[in-house]
Structure 1
Amino acid sequence: MASSPLKAFLRPSDEANMTLVEHLDELRSRIIKVALVFVVGAIFGWIFKAYVFDFLMAPAPETMDETLQFTSVTDPIFTDLKLALYTGLMITLPVLFYQAWAFVAPAVGEMGRLFTYTLITLASLLFVGGVAFGYYLVLPIALNFLIGWDPSRFSEIITAEAYLRFITRFLLAFGVAFEVPAATFVGAKMGLVNAEFMRKYRRHAIMVNAVIAAFITPADPFSMIMLAVPLVLLYEVSIFIAARVNPAVEETLQEALDDEGEELEDEYEEDYDRTGGR
C-alpha cells in the first residue's frame, strides 16, 4: 500500500550506503519540502502582516507612536514583504530542523525515531522559548534604554525598516542562543561531548557566554546580563543532559576512582601488616 504524503514528508533517509547522485537527490527533495513550507508560511505572514506588525510594535516604549516613518516610496511595501518572509521563517524552522537531521542521521548511525522526534521537539521548544524570553523580558528594557537615551539631546525619528530589522534580528539571535541544550543532546548522543568535559571547561563557557551576550544584545548592561544569566543556566542544564544521554564516561570515571580507592586501601593494609600496626 502506498504511503501517505505526510509519511513521505516525515520519512528519514533509510539508505546508509547511497550513491552521490542519490544523496544529492535526497538533499534536493528535502530542500523542496522546506521551501514549500516556507512559501506557505510567508503567504500566511502576508495575510496577517498587520497583526505581526502590531505584535512587534508592542514592546516599543510609550514615547513612540503606533506608526513608523519611512524615507523611500517603496519602504512600506518592502517592509511588509520582509515581515511576511520573517513569519515564514519562524513557521519553517521546526520543519527545517527535522529535515536537516533526517538527512544527516544515517551518516552518524541509527538514532531511532524516538530520538529524532525528541530532538526536533526540544530544538523547536528551545527556539520558541528563546524568542519569547527576548520578546517579553529583554526587548522592552533594551528599547526603553536605547530610545530613551538622553532625551534632552536626542529625539527619535525611527524608520520602519530600521526598527523591524533590529527587532527581528534581536529575537532570532535569542532563539539561536537558546539551542545550546539541543546541540548538547546531539553531541552527547554521538559521543562528541560528555558531562566531565563540560564541567572541566565551565569557566571558559561562562566567559564565552558573556561575550556572546555582549554581541547579541544592545550596548546596555541590563540586556547583556538578562541573556548571559539564562545562557549560564542552560549550560548547566546541558551538563545534566550530557550526563543522562552519555553516562558511559561518567561510569568509566567512577569505576576508575573506585579502582584507585581500592588500590590505596590495599596498599594501606599491606603497610599496616608489614609494620605491625606501627
Structure 2
Amino acid sequence: MSEGKEMSFWGHIGELRAHMVRSLIAIVICAIIVGFNVNWIMDHIFFGPTRNDFYTFRVVNHFSRELLGHDSITLPGHFAVQQKKLFEQFNVMMAVSIFGGIVAAFPYLVWELWRFISPALHPKERKNSVFLINFVWILFAIGIMCGYFLILPFAINFGLLFKVSDSITQLFDLSDYTTLFMQIVLGMGLVFLFPIVVYFTTSIGILTPAFMRKYRRHAIVLIMVVAAIITPADVLSMMMAAIPLLLLYEFSIMMSAYTYKKVEKRKLEEEKSRL
C-alpha cells in the first residue's frame, strides 16, 4: 500500500494479491533449492533423528555416561523404511521440498505481511512493529528447532523401543514417518506463534494478563491436549512437547502484562491530551 494514499477495497485486495504472489514465488524458489539438494537433506536432516549419532542422543548419552556410566539411548543400527506405493518417494520429495521452502522463506513471508500492514500503522506503531515482525520468525524458528531436536527424537526412540512381542519385525512406512516429521516439527513451529496472538489480542483489548492467570489451570489442560495432537500420543513425547508449551504460556502472560501496561498508558495519555 502506498503511504498517505487512500485506497479502495479492491485496491487493498490487489495490493494483498501482489504480496501473496511474491510470497508464493519465494516459497517456490526455496522449494526448488531444497528439491535440488533433497538427497543430502533426506540423509542428514530428515532421517537424522533415526540414528545414534544424532546431536540430541549424543548430548543425552554424554550426561548419562557421566551420571550412570552407560548410554541411556541406543537405537537399532538400521532404521528400515519401506516404500509401499509406486510414487511414494516422489510424493515425499515434493512434501519435503514444499515444507523446506516454507520454513526457509518464512522470514520473507513475514516481511511481506509487514509491508502490507505497515502503511496503516501510526509512525510509533510502525517503529515498534519492526521488533515484532522479527520476533515472529524467530519464535517460529525456535518452535521448529524444539520440535526437531527435542520432541521428534524421543518420539522416534519410544516408537522403536516399545515392543509387545519380539517376533514382530519392525518395518516403517515412508509416508507414516513423513507425516510424523511434519506433524511434530511444523506443529511446534506454529504453536510457538502463540505469544504473537496474545500480543494482538491484548493490544485490541480482548485479552488481559489477569484473564490468563485466572484460567492458567484450564490452559494447562488445553496445552496437554495440544501436545497430544502434535505428538504420536505416547506419554514421554507428550510431556516433552508440553514442557516448552507451558513455558511459552508463562512467557505469553508476561508479554500480555507488558502490552496491557502500554495500552493503558496510551489510553491515559490520550485522555490527558483531550483535556
The code of the aligned residue for 2:205 comes to G
**How far, CA to CA, are the matches of 2:39 and 2:123 in structure 1?**
45
Tell me which residue corresponds to 1:229: 243
Q: Deviations over 1:97-122 (max 9, x none)?
A: 33334434566766633322212211
Question: How does 1:107-126 map onto structure 2 within 5 Å?
Answer: 112-126=125-139
Quote the residue 2:26 is aligned against.
Answer: 37
TM-score, L = length of structure 2:
0.78
Matches within 5 A, 1:160-199: 160-199=174-213
* Bigger Rg over Cα: 1
Q: 1:176 to 1:153 in 2, by over 3 A?
A: farther
Q: Are residue 205 (structure 1) and residue 205 (structure 2) matched? A: no
Q: Which amino acid aligns with 1:42?
A: A
Q: C-alpha displacement at 1:159, in angstroms?
A: 2.6
Give aligned pairs, total.
241
**Contact persistence 2:180–2:232 (CA under 8 A):** no
Aligned partner (choices 4, 21, 33) of residue 10 of structure 2 = 21
AA in 1 matched with 2:142: G
Structure 1 residues 160 and 89: alpha-carbon distance in aligned structure 2, compared to 1, 3 A threshold: same
CA change 1:85–1:112 in 2 (3 A) is: same
The answer for unaligned runs of 5 or more in structure 1 is 1-11, 252-278
Given candidates 55, 76, 99, the residue that maps to 2:112 is 99
Which AA in structure 1 matches 2:184? F
Query: Larger deviation: 201-210 or 98-107?
Result: 98-107
Matched, 1:56 2:46: yes
The aligned residue for residue 131 of structure 1 is: 144
Which runs of 5 or more residues in structure 2 are unaligned? 52-74, 266-275
Deviation at 1:220? 0.9
Identify which range, 242-251 or 23-32, moves more after superposition. 242-251
Give the conservation status (yes or no) of the 8 Å contact 2:84–2:173. Answer: yes
* CA contact 2:50–2:79 (8 Å) conserved in 1: no
Residues 230, 247 of structure 1: CA spacing in aligned structure 2 closer, same or farther, 3 A cutoff? same
Query: Is this contact kept in 2: 1:13–1:103, CA < 8 A?
Result: no
In the alignment, is the contact (CA less than 8 A) between 1:105 and 1:111 conserved in 2? Answer: no
Deviation readout 1:105-156 (Å, 9 max, x if unpaired) = 5667666333222122111111111111121121111111123221514322
Is the 1:185–1:242 Cα contact (8 Å) retained in structure 2?
yes
Corresponding residue for residue 147 of structure 1:
160
| C-alpha spacing 1:106/1:226, structure 2 compared with 1 (3 Å) | same
SS at match of 2:22: helix
- Equivalence for 1:270: none
CA distance in 1: counterparts of 2:222 and 2:5, whole angstroms: 37
Contact 1:209–1:232 (Cα < 8 Å) also in 2: yes
Amino acid at match of 2:138: L
Q: Is the 8 A contact 1:184 1:241 kept in 2?
A: yes
Letter in 2 for 1:23: H
The alignment partner of 2:81 has SS state of: coil
User: 1:218 corresponds to which residue?
Assistant: 232
Percent of residue pairs identical: 30
Maintained 8 Å contact 1:16/1:107: no
- Evaluate the alpha carbon distance shift between residue 96 and residue 13 of structure 1 in structure 2; reply closer, same or farther with a 3 A threshold: farther
Cα distance, 1:206 vs structure 2: 1.4
Tell me the SS of whatever aligns to 1:147: helix
